[in-house]
Amino acid sequence: MTEDQIHYSTLIDQAMRGVVRDVLRRILASGLPGDHHFYVSFATNYPGVRISEALKSRYPKEMTIVLQHQFWDFKVEDQFFTATLSFSGVPEKLVIPYASLTAFADPSVKFGLQFQQSELFEVESIDSSIPQDPVSLLPPDGEEAEDGSAEIISLDSFRKK
């Protein structure tokens, strides 16, 4: 069999990340329609990811956020998106490059994408347009707000075994 010198799997992976970017752009323009909401999982140690040290210590490899009712300062750029979520009542700015994504799901319509991880750090490079500013710190207790304003979950329950 011939070696894949075109790297089809990488091209497909990049196209799927483009789907996420396009969906987020639609949401930015017109809001979340109906019951749509998103679980976005990303590698917290990926270059360009900006989260507080407290969150990074709780989630050293991967984190999942929910974009549903309460998120602010939402921006969608070509290489990354930003959102502010509340953790234990403390606003937290997150900068998430699309290249860091590990999974994306919209459970309201049973839609989900899984992204390759083995080639991520080799294929993608840090974009200089990704903000390098510090973010606020999560309180030491690390507990979620009772109002459910921000929720970190594992997508394992949605994966077929």
Domain count along the chain: 1
Do the beta carbons of residue 152 and residue 65 sit within 8 Å?
Answer: yes
Bridge-partner residues for 93, per DSSP?
A: 84
**pLDDT digit string (tens) for 29-76?**
999 999 999 999 999 999 999 999 989 999 999 999 999 988 999 999
| CATH code, 103 | 2.30.30.220
CA–CA distance from 37 to each of 29, 114, 138, 145 (Å)? 15, 17, 24, 19
**pLDDT digit string (tens) for 89-102?**
889 999 999 999 99
Bridge-partner residues for 96, per DSSP?
A: 81
Domain-embedded: residue 85: yes
Q: Does pTM top 0.85 for this prediction?
A: no
As a whole number of angstroms, the longest Cα–Cα distance in the chain is: 56
Domain-embedded: residue 19: no
Domain-embedded: residue 102: yes
Domain-embedded: residue 49: yes
Q: How many helices (H) and strands (E) does the chain have?
A: 3, 7
Domain-embedded: residue 43: yes
Domain-embedded: residue 44: yes
Chain Cα centroid distance, residue 11: 20
**DSSP secondary structure letter of residue 109:** G
Domain-embedded: residue 69: yes
Domain-embedded: residue 87: yes
**pLDDT digit string (tens) for 77-132?**
999 999 999 988 889 999 999 999 999 999 999 999 999 864 444 444 444 455 54
Which backbone phi and psi does 51 adopt, to 5 degrees?
A: -140, 165
- Domain coverage including residue 51: 36-158
